[in-house]
Amino acid sequence: MSEGKRPGGLTAMAVFNFIGTGLDLIGILVILALVLGSGALVKIIEEGEAKQQEAAQRREQTEAQKREAAKRQEELEKAKKQLAIFEEFEGKYLALIIALNLACATLLLLSGIGYLMQKRFLGRKLGIAYALISIPTSLVELNLTPAEAGGGFSLASLIAFFYPVLTLILLSTTFREDFVN
């Protein structure tokens, strides 16, 4: 490809990289918010439970009110269990997953800039590095993140695995000669 003439596919990959960078950074913030805020939410839920139990003891309840209170109690217990998983997750894998996602976001951003500038190192080499780090990262997240914390197989996990594979293939074949600098 002649210098200065960037293929549209390479430009599209750069745009996808910038979108992916934003999504990775938002994901990191969401993980931090959920994990770090889970302890406070458990305390709020427990205080609400105590107040409801006190109010229920002070007044007579009809059968429908008792069923509704039992249903609320069940929902509260489920929410507490889910929040407890976030607290457990915090200690085990939070730093690893955040570090891997931050590395992927950084490589996505830099390689996207490199795609636009058609720089061999900044675009092609860092794009390949992103793919080689992102594939195992998506597999680690898939296996380590509990389903209650948003883990497990989903459309997002499929995309998180598919895009780096596609990037690796395209940079090694189709766009191999398009990096002129």
What percentage of the chain has pLDDT greater than the value 90? 27
Q: Flag whether pLDDT at 17 surpasses 70.
A: yes
CA distance 128 to 108: 10
How much is the pLDDT for 83? 65
Q: Flag whether pLDDT at 146 surpasses 70.
A: no
Tell me what the mean pLDDT of segment 61-79 comes to.
Answer: 74
110-114 contact pairs (CB < 8 A, 24+): 111/17, 112/13, 112/14, 112/15, 112/16, 112/17, 112/18, 112/21, 113/14, 114/179
CA distance 179 to 181: 6
pLDDT digits (tens, 9 = 90+) for 148-166: 656 667 777 788 889 999 9
How much is the pLDDT for 1? 46
Identify the top-confidence range among 15-19, 62-66, 142-146: 15-19
Region for 62 from its dihedrals, namely left if φ exceeds 0, alpha if ψ lies in -120 to 50, beta otherwise: beta
How much is the pLDDT for 82? 66
Which tokens is 59 given?
Answer: 């007044």
Q: Is 146 exposed, middle or buried (0-12, 13-18, 19+ CB in 10 A)?
A: middle
Q: CB of 149 within 8 A of CB of 34?
A: yes
CA distance 14 to 12: 5
Q: CB of 24 within 8 A of CB of 105?
A: yes
Mean pLDDT (the chain) is: 79
pLDDT digits (tens, 9 = 90+) for 80-125: 676 666 666 556 677 788 888 899 999 999 999 999 998 888 888 9
| 145: helix, strand or coil | coil
- pTM for the model stands at 0.69
